[in-house]
Amino acid sequence: MSAVRVACIGAGPGGLMLALLLRRLGGHEVDVYERSPAGATYGFGVVFSRFSLARLRRAAPDVVAALLDRGARWDDVEVRRDGEQIRSSGHGFAAVERRTLLTALNELATEAGARLHFNAEADAAELLGRYDVVVAADGSGSRTRAAFAGEFGAEVVPGRGRYAWFGVDRAFDAMTFLFADSAYGPVGAHVYPYGPDRSTFLVELGEETWQRAGFTEGATKPPGWNDEQAMEFCAEVFAEHLRGAKLLGNGSRWLTFPHISSTRWSTGRLVGLGDAVHTAHFSVGSGTTLALEDAVELARRLSEQDDLDTALAAYESTRRPIVESVQQAAWASLRMWSHPEEHRALDPATLMLRLLTRTGQSAADVLLRLDPQLAKIGDGVTALPEGPVPTLVTDGPGDALLLAPGVQEPSVLIRTKADDTAVEEAGERLRALRAELPGATLGLLLEAPAPVEEPVARVVDSVAALARAVPLDVVAVAPGAQLPAADRTARSALAERLTATGTHTAYVCRPNELSQGWTHVRSGRATAVWTTEP
């Protein structure tokens, strides 16, 4: 596309990266409008995986070099609870202070010829009258998205649970997850270094714990306000890990995480990137990464495509599947923090495995290749079960039989879809079979729904109600109709929640996924693993 005039609303990492690349790739005229003063920011460290760094390095090697030169790098993940700690290696992370990252991007964008305007309120409707393209990069609180909510098809859902973002004047040497009990309930923290003497210290607690403690609603306070009560509480709960280090505030208060999605990322000549149009929970450390990668793709499309509509459509069609996959993984990961009571009884080794596989995608065989020492933690992580596993035999759309080694009478499972009506109908059949086969092992075979909160939560409630009414020996969670990654996430999440209700839950997988299924058993998400027929 020939040079165009671009206005970018928001001088966060995504907006600045876009301005930098648009100048380098096509010599476009770029103005960035930021309502805050230069240098004003929130938060502490920004974390990147080695995979995201590799992708960003291809587009802007000098940005990655600045990040690595001024930040921290490490390979280990550590879990601490009840005075015990377990460490796993081979993961590969880097982090940099958010202010440092913004300064580097600011300098590079300015050198490339972008014009940056601070203390500058910007209205997208007005800018559309002066620019060829307007980009909304104004974050999760985007005023642009709010003004064009109908056009974007935007949805904002507040998360359950609360978080508070602190710094600490000490550099931890690993991605460290702390789990502790307070007088009001369980509390967790994510801690990672971002400089020689600084770490991010992000604390999460469930909604019930937050309410019992009587904390202040942080969203009602003005920008820059620090919740001293929250800081004192967290310092006391995690005193043994801080070892005299001091928590630091920067607008730190209890907040809920906004889950943002948009059915369209552009409307006419207005396009969004990063948190302005999509968010993913920070427990997978992806918000800044997604914004930067959006910027890379949008800059490429605006520079290579001849037609604006084609460029914006190509940008979204390329990025949306990637973003939605990360959102699904983040949705599964969030459960560890919003419902800490579900893993309170796990020993540290099992908790470590649960943590490393919380998105439903990782398997023990992959983790053991990264860190062979995992085989020595707790009872030892193994890639596969020692003996043969039961095989689920299906004949068309009807019921399934479970053929277990050494057991002559097969178990009967009633196949059902994961919705209220189907589960209720399966319950009627279950009652009839229970009367007909009083000594048989009977259960449900559930096809996993989409990895979305409402359908998963609803089917868990339906199964729990059924189990109270009719003896239910087992619930098997089988592959559904989603794409493979989404299906793995959905099966993992559904099995985990059913198991948390006390249900005997089997994770059903294809034979080539056995290591993944076994991982869910070892991490406490399921009580058994079965395979389908080859």
Check which CATH number belongs to the domain holding 227 and give it: 3.30.9.20
Do 280 and 250 share a structural domain? Answer: no
Burial 398-426 (b: 16+ CB within 10 A, else e): ebbebebeeeeebbbbbbbbbeeebbeeb
Do 103 and 25 share a structural domain? Answer: yes
Domain count of the fold of the chain: 3
Contacts of 301 (CB under 8 A, 6+ apart): 311, 312, 314, 315, 318
Contacts of 370 (CB under 8 A, 6+ apart): 88, 89, 90, 91
- Report the C-alpha gap between 3 and 23 in whole angstroms: 9
Do 368 and 491 share a structural domain? Answer: yes
Do 102 and 213 share a structural domain? Answer: no
User: Of 230, 256, 282, which residue is a domain's last?
Assistant: 256
Ramachandran angles phi, psi of 192, nearest 5°? -155, 150
Q: How many Cβ atoms are within 10 Å of 302's Cβ, its own excluded? A: 26
Do 286 and 236 share a structural domain? Answer: no
Burial 85-107 (b: 16+ CB within 10 A, else e): bbbbbebbbbbbbbbbbbbbbbe
Q: Which DSSP symbol is given to 373?
A: G
Contacts of 387 (CB under 8 A, 6+ apart): 405
Which residue type, as a one-letter code, is found at position 435?
A: A
Which residue type, as a one-letter code, is found at position 74?
A: W
Residue 70 belongs to a domain: no
Contacts of 433 (CB under 8 A, 6+ apart): 412, 414, 440, 442
Residue 91 belongs to a domain: no
Do 367 and 411 share a structural domain? Answer: yes
Q: How many Cβ atoms are within 10 Å of 473's Cβ, its own excluded? A: 17
Residue 49 belongs to a domain: no
Q: What is the reported pTM?
A: 0.92
Domain span holding position 217:
162-256
Which residue type, as a one-letter code, is found at position 104?
A: A
pLDDT of res. 29: 97
- Report the C-alpha gap between 203 and 191 in whole angstroms: 9
Contacts of 215 (CB under 8 A, 6+ apart): 162, 227, 229, 230, 233, 254
Do 434 and 510 share a structural domain? Answer: yes
Residue 528 belongs to a domain: yes
pLDDT of res. 409: 60
Residue 144 belongs to a domain: yes
Residue 92 belongs to a domain: no
- Report the C-alpha gap between 17 and 508 in whole angstroms: 43
- Report the C-alpha gap between 402 and 465 in whole angstroms: 24
- Report the C-alpha gap between 414 and 426 in whole angstroms: 7
User: Of 288, 318, 336, which residue is a domain's last?
Assistant: 336
Say whether 235 sits in a helix, a strand or coil.
helix
Say whether 499 sits in a helix, a strand or coil.
helix
Write the CATH number for 323. Answer: 3.50.50.60
Residue 81 belongs to a domain: no
Do 245 and 283 share a structural domain? Answer: no
What are the average pLDDT values for consecutive 10-residue runs of the chain, which has 534 residues? 92 98 94 92 89 93 91 96 94 95 96 97 97 98 97 93 95 97 95 96 94 90 91 97 96 94 98 98 90 98 94 98 94 87 89 93 92 89 91 72 66 82 87 84 89 90 90 90 88 94 94 95 95 85
User: Of 319, 336, 353, which residue is a domain's last?
Assistant: 336
Do 499 and 426 share a structural domain? Answer: yes
pLDDT of res. 411: 79
Which helix (H) or strand (E) is 329 found in, with range?
helix 308-338
Residue 107 belongs to a domain: yes
Contacts of 434 (CB under 8 A, 6+ apart): 442, 470, 471
Do 246 and 287 share a structural domain? Answer: no
Do 304 and 384 share a structural domain? Answer: no
Alpha-carbon dihedral sign for residues 319, 324, 327, 332: negative
Do 249 and 318 share a structural domain? Answer: no
Calculate the CA dihedral of residues 519, 522, 523, 527 and round it to 10 degrees. 100
